[in-house]
Each structure stands twice: as structure tokens, then as C-alpha cells.
Amino acid sequence: MSAVEQDAVIQATRRDVLKGGAVLTVAMWLPTGAVRANEADVSKAGTFVPNAFVRIDQDSTVTVLSKHVEMGQGSYTGLATIVAEELDADWNQIRVEGAPADAKLYNNFAFGPFQGTGGSTAIANSYDQLKQAGATARAMLVTAAANRWGVPANEITIASGVLQHKSGKSARFGELVADASKLPVPTDVKPKDPSAYNRIGKSAPRVDSRAKSTGKAIFTQDFKLPGMLTAVVAHPPRFGGKVKSFDASKAKQIKGVKAVVAFETPARAGVAVVATDFWSAKKGRDALSIEWDESNAFKQSSDEMLKEYRELTRQPGDIAKQEGDVEQAFASAARTFEATYEFPYLAHAAMEPMNCVVQIGQSSCEIWNGEQFQTADQMAVAKLLGISPKDVKINQLYAGGSFGRRANPLSDYVVETAAIAKAMGTTDPVKLVWTREDDMRAGFYRPMYVHWLKAGVDAQGKIIAWQHRIVGQSITRGTLFASQGKIDATSVEGAQNLPYQIPNLQVELHTTEPKVPVLWWRSVGSTHTAFATECFLDDIARETRQDPYQLRRALLAKHPRHLAVLDLVAEKSGWKKKRAADEIYGLALHESFNSVVGQVAKLKKTPNGPKLVSVVCAVDCGIAVNPNIVAMQMESGIGYGLSAALMGAVTLKEGRVEQGNFDDYPVLRINEMPAVETHIVPSKNKPTGVGEPGTPVIAPALANALAQIDGKPVRVLPLSAQGVKLA
């Protein structure tokens, strides 16, 4: 049983967050002796806490402290697998707890001196760290046993959580906890070589399946404190709107309503009704009469914006990548091709609408949240309250999905909760609960983009030039994560690093700045660049009568990982075999978050239109720590990407978001989900991401299949907006 369901959120002595400023430090990855339990107080009486990631109780329970949120991606299971491997623990003695917010102990190496989860980095950035943490704990247990038994340490083995010596002596971890706690923490322990792995690379069940199959897992939505009040908010109908005035008299007459307060944060303004429970607060919110100041509000429609974006694709953008000379190559090309691709705004629409619990104390603040961005949230709340970030304590809970939404550089919903609690002027804990409509209309979307591509081929059909122009908003501009210079890396990732060998290559970017809040959305830039590049490549293949698989193969000579994935997905899908007349296969390949994913979408023609029967997926993610989790993430990424491709779109009419719930923002349902089979390329390389890389590949794989039916390429998403529906 996982610990988190019991809400065993640990108390930490927090230290200065980001002390040392914005310098990126990728040092200090294992807290050594001096750091131990007194630094991050993750200890409990009578336990052995060799470092900030492992705690062993007298009953032999091994608790792994996860610096990363569990939002579905399997981080708790994967991280625990690494520790269990080094300890040779039994899987049943492992539990996982969310670590406290402490950027010094728990920073994400991919982010620098910053704690947070994202970019499919949880396993990748923790792998060495947790190997070391587990190996150190193991060495201390072995030393304790060697001392007690009077035998050399190197004669002691561990299997399934039991230390053994050939003399017949044996002990469970718990029996050695007291002795091990007294030992100095060694700093020179060598973790296992991958050739000695017993557990990594083999599937183990998730640590959270039981809690999540019995209703016992505690999400923010479920968290309750004595005296806690619930806040339901009214947000401005347009982005950038402010509260001019409001009349709360009717709201205050509703039973259970305690207060009505206005708030303003860097993300938005609004009015909150705070009540004893959700339903009373919601009735109060619905009874508010608010006059909005829309003098600076965003009033454009997405249709108008699209026209402007299309216009921009005809003008040169800022250069993101330039190799050779595309203009010259086009002039000498036997044929050229052009295509424009359009992508709408997308909502994350996690199952759990955004929410947060905040309690403000005397110059301190405590937060309970499915917390994805600890360091940013500590700083934002500290700034609002005029306290030190270290006095913002964050308790980790399960997140009911996120897909990027809970990692917000503006800390929007977290700081909104704190602003409401502050406006209350009491120490009553406040839970902010957004309705589905609040969640969907609050912005922070995957940006709308338009891409224009042009390619030239020689007489043999070989691609000699490729020009790719991208128009859309930057996710990172104005945040801590902004790129240096004009080119936002997240807008061009997947295009700028096109793996295909083309001698003349140019990628350009127009960054637009409408006041629509945007954010990373599962697989970020690849959500659109993979589609544009992989569909355009198939267009060229179709027009030049080349096999899409062979065309890619010929361009990937310098990318062995891509080639291996491509070959594996071709082999497993039977790409080269003869297909039945009603079977159509579409292929796509893409690298994101240092993993390479290839997918073949298998369509079957039916009287009701094409049906997506199955998807064959191949992935190179380095060492697959837990292949079961890798497969789950490929299935999930395919479903999430497919949902957007088929029917996802947020549109604006005169600045108002037109969607609000699952009726007008439909999402994938079970009858629309294909079968999925996942194949993992064997690898000795360190683990890379799996949470996101499955997502961007399905849309182009599907589109490349659909284009073969009538020769018409898919260039606008979602498919539903084009009247395309699958059976």
C-alpha cells in the first residue's frame, strides 16, 4: 500500500530556496553525511534515514521520498523501482511519499536549482541520484550486519529484502535500522552496474493501483482540514478583464456563504465566494452580480487571429536554423511542394479541475496540492504574502492529471488560492475549487499555430531543400524559462532539430503576442511540429511515389536510434507485408524529450468510414526502468494525442472562450480508443522520457493513413472541424 493514500505528508525543515540566485547548478546530487535527517527532516523516531530519498522503518518498510509529483505518469513507481533495485528490496516492502518543497535537496537537474516536474524528466534526472541513494542505504545496512555478525561486508548478499551470510545468519532491513543509523554515511559507494540489475528492466505493478482502485487515494479535491472553507470563483469573461464593481448581497444570503472577496493576481482578477462547502459556494458564485472593466481585455476572435497568422506565414520570420541555401536549392529543384498546417488552441482538461488548499499562518503559509512546480509556487506565494519562500510549506498530494497544466510559471491557481485566503484575513484554510467551465476558460492553452512548409526534390525524388516557417505564441516568453534571443526553443523544437538529412534546411519563427495565456501541453512544441514535419514528408513521398518508410530510412543514416525505432515499428506492424484491400497504414516518427517514438496507425475501411483499429508503437527511451510504465505511457500518450487530433479545439469569439465542458470540448472515449501494442528498443543508455513522447506521433500517423484513402492530405486540426469522423 502506498503511503500517500494515508496522507503521510512529511514535515520538512525548509531552507532558502534558490539561494545563490539564478546560477544553474547541476552539482550536489547526493546529500552526504552532514545533510542527513537534520537538514530535510524526513525522519521519524526509530527510523534509518541515510539520505533525503530513503527512509527505512523498524518494520522493514522502505519509504522512497519522491521529489516528483505523481500525476498519472508513473513517477512514484519508476522512482521506487530504482531504489528497490539498489537495495535488492522486496517490492512489497516499498512505499512512496511525496517529498517536501526544498529546491536544494529536491531540485530537478533538468531545471537547475528549481524543484518541479515536467519535460518527461522525472526518471531521467533522478536515475543516478536514486541509484546512489539506494546504494548508500544498502552499504550502510551491509556494514551494520557485518559488524553485528563479525563477518566481512563483501560476504553479505541481499535478496528480496533479506541480508544473508553463508554462515546462515540473516536479517531483514528493520533489524539493522538502529545500528545503521549510527554509522557515518559513506560517500564513495558504487551503485550497481546495469548488468547486475534484477528489477530494472522488468515490469512491476504500480505502487498506487490499489489506492486508486478503491477510492482511497487522496487528491487535492479530497483533502480536508478542520474549519476548511471552499472558494468558488467568478473569472472575467475575457482575458485581461478586471473587476470594476460587484454586488454580493444575493450571494451572501445563501446558506453556508461566509465571505465574498475580490482578488487580483499576476494571472487574472476575479471575485471569490467562500462558503462551508462547494455547493453553497457555487450557488453564491452564480448569484454574484459583477461589472467587469474590459478596457484592457482581449477581444479578438480566433478566426481573425488565424487570418493574421496565415498572412504572417507569407513573410520571412526570425531564423531558428539555417543550413545551406534553400532559395538556391529551390531554384534548382526538379519539383517543389508547399503546405500550410493549422493547429487550434488546446485545453489540458485534466480530469481533476484545478484546485488548491492554502492556510495562511503568522508569516508562513502551508499549501496542499498536486504540486508540479514547487519552487515557482513558493516564490509566487511568498511574494504575494510578503514572506520568505522557505516559509511556504508545500505538501504533495496526488494530481488527477496535469499534462503540463499544474506547472505554471505564473503559479496561477495556486497564487489565486493564496490571494483569496489573504483577502479573507483569517487563518481559516481555504480550498479553491474550479468548476470544469472555470478550468476550461481560464486560459493557459497549447497555443494556436500556423505552419508553412516548402520542399524541393531533385529528379530522383531526393529532398534537397526544406523550409519551415512557424507562427504562434511563445510559451516561455516573459517567464523564468524564456529562451535567450528571439527564438523560443519550445516553439521550434521538433522542427529545428529535424533528424532527416537534407542539405538545405531553414526554420523560421514568427512569435505572436495576443493576450491569450498559453502553456506547455503534453509534448509542448512537438504537438504541432511533429504533425507538420511528418505529414509533409508523407506528402512528398506520396507525390514522388516513394514508400514513406523507405524515404525516412534513406534520410536517417546519421541517426541510429531513429533508424532502430523506425525499423522496429515497421517490422512489428508488418509494414512490408501485403495488406488487405481495406487496410491502410500510416507511419510517423518523432523524437521528443530525448526519446524516439515511431507509430503505425492501422485503419480499416468500413461502411461507416475509416476505423482506427490499432496502433503499433516502438520507443527508444534508454533503459526502460519499468517496461509496464513505459507501455502505459505510450498508450496514454496515444489516447491523449488522438483526442486532440480528432476533436480538440478551444476557439475564441470576440475574446470569449466558446467551450466550457466535455459537451463542447469533446474528448476521447473508450469506443474511440484503438488497441495499442508497444515495443521497446533494448538499450544500455540512461533512461530518457516517456510521459510525453508518445503523444505527438499519433496525429501524423493517423493523418498519413487517412491521406491514402482519397489522396487528400490532412492539414488542419482537429479532424472534426474538417468534417472527418472515424467509425
Partner 1 sequence: MITLDINGQKLQTDAEPDTPLLWVLRDHLGMTGSKFGCGKALCGACTVHIDGNATRSCVLPVAAVASSKITTIEAVGQSKVGKAVQDAWIAEDVPQCGYCQSGQIMSATALLATNSKPTDADIDAAMAGNVCRCATYVRIRAAIKRAAGTLTT
> Would you tell me which residues interact with partner 1 (CB under 8 A)?
71-74, 205-206, 208-219, 221-222, 224, 230, 255, 277-280, 349-353, 398-403, 433, 435-436, 628, 632, 635-636, 638-640, 642-643, 661-663, 667-671, 673, 675-676
Residue 424 host element (H or E): helix 412-424
C-beta closer to partner 1: residue 89 or 217:
217
Report in angstroms how near the CB of residue 223 gets to partner 1 at its nearest. Answer: 9
CB of 279 to partner 1, least distance (A): 4
Residue with Cβ nearer partner 1 (210 or 310): 210
- Let me know how long the chain is: 727
End-to-end CA distance of the chain: 41
We find the least distance from the C-beta atom of residue 212 to partner 1, in angstroms, to be 3
What amino acid is encoded at 108 in this protein? N
Q: How many helical (H) and strand (E) elements, i.e. helices and strands, does the chain have?
A: 19, 27
C-alpha to C-alpha distances, 16 to 23, 109, 272, 375, nearest whole angstrom: 15, 18, 32, 11
Nearer to partner 1, 1 or 178 (CB): 1
Cell (9 digits) for 224: 480536508
3-state secondary structure 318-382: EEEEEECCHHHHHHHCCEEEEEEEEECEECCCCCCCCEEEEEEECCEEEEEECCCCHHHHHHHHH
Min dist CB 313 to partner 1, Å, is 32
Smallest gap from Cβ 541 to partner 1, in A, equals 29
CB of 72 to partner 1, least distance (A): 3
CB of 668 to partner 1, least distance (A): 6
Q: Residue 71: which residues within 8 A CB-CB, separation 6 or more?
A: 117, 350, 370, 372, 398, 399, 400, 401, 402, 406
- Work out how close the CB of 77 gets to partner 1 at its nearest, in angstroms, rounded to a whole number: 9
Whether residue 659 contacts residue 650, with contact meaning beta carbons closer than 8 Å, is answered with yes
Contacts for 432 with CB less than 8 Å, ≥ 6 apart: 230, 231, 233, 272, 354, 355, 356, 357, 358, 413, 416, 417, 420
**CB-count burial class (<10 Å; 0-12, 13-18, 19+) for 296:** exposed
Residue 691 to residues 69, 70, 563, 588, 642: CA-CA distances in angstroms? 13, 11, 22, 18, 15
Can you give the C-alpha Rg of the chain in angstroms? 27
The residue written with cell numbers 503511503 in the block is 3
DSSP string of 573-631, one letter each residue: HTTTSPPPTTEEEEEEEEEETTEEEEEEEEEEEETTEEEEEEEEEEEE-SS-S-HHHHH
In terms of CB distance, is 197 or 278 closer to partner 1?
278
699: its cell numbers: 496525429
Instruction: Give dist(CA 89, CA 62) in Å, integer.
Output: 8
- Which residue lies nearer to partner 1 by CB, 312 or 697? 697
Cα 94 to Cα 138: distance, rounded to the nearest angstrom: 14
Q: What is the DSSP string of 42-109?
A: ---TT-EEEETTEEE-TT-PEEEEESS--SSS-HHHHHHHHHHHHHT--GGGEEEEEPPS-HHHH--T
Task: Determine the Cα–Cα distance for residues 401 and 436; give it in Å rounded to an integer.
Answer: 14
> Of 279 and 571, which has the nearer Cβ to partner 1?
279
Instruction: Output 273 or 632, the one with its CB closest to partner 1.
Output: 632
Please report how close the Cβ of residue 433 comes to partner 1 at its closest, in angstroms. 8
Nearer to partner 1, 400 or 429 (CB): 400
Give the nearer residue to partner 1 in terms of CB position, either 639 or 687.
639
Choice between 496 and 678, CB closer to partner 1: 678
Nearer to partner 1, 352 or 538 (CB): 352
How far apart are alpha carbons 118 and 372 in whole angstroms?
8
SS3 assignment, position 440: helix
Residue 68 or residue 468: which is nearer to partner 1 going by CB?
68
- Residue 355 CB, shortest distance to partner 1, in Å, is 9
| Residue written as grid cell 540566485 | 21
Half-sphere exposure of 161 (CA within 13 A, CB side): 20
The distance of closest approach from Cβ of residue 213 to partner 1 in the complex, given in angstroms and rounded to an integer, is 4
Cell digits for 624?
526502460
If the CB atoms of residues 472 and 666 are measured against partner 1, the closer one turns out to be 666
Q: In the complex with partner 1, which residue's Cβ is closer, 653 or 669? A: 669
Q: Which of residues 543 and 658 has its CB atom nearest to partner 1 in the complex?
A: 658
Contact 526, 519 (CB under 8 A): no
**Residue 221 CB, nearest approach to partner 1 (Å):** 6
- Write down the least CB distance from residue 633 to partner 1, Å: 8
Beta carbons within 8 Å of 24's beta carbon, 6+ residues apart: 112, 113
Q: Minimal distance in Å, beta carbon 533 to partner 1?
A: 24
Which residues have a Cβ under 8 Å from the Cβ of 383 and sit 6 or more positions away? Answer: none
Instruction: Write down the least CB distance from residue 27 to partner 1, Å.
Output: 33
Q: Residue 146 or 667: which CB sits closer to partner 1? A: 667
Considering the complex, what minimum distance in angstroms separates the CB of residue 286 from partner 1? 12
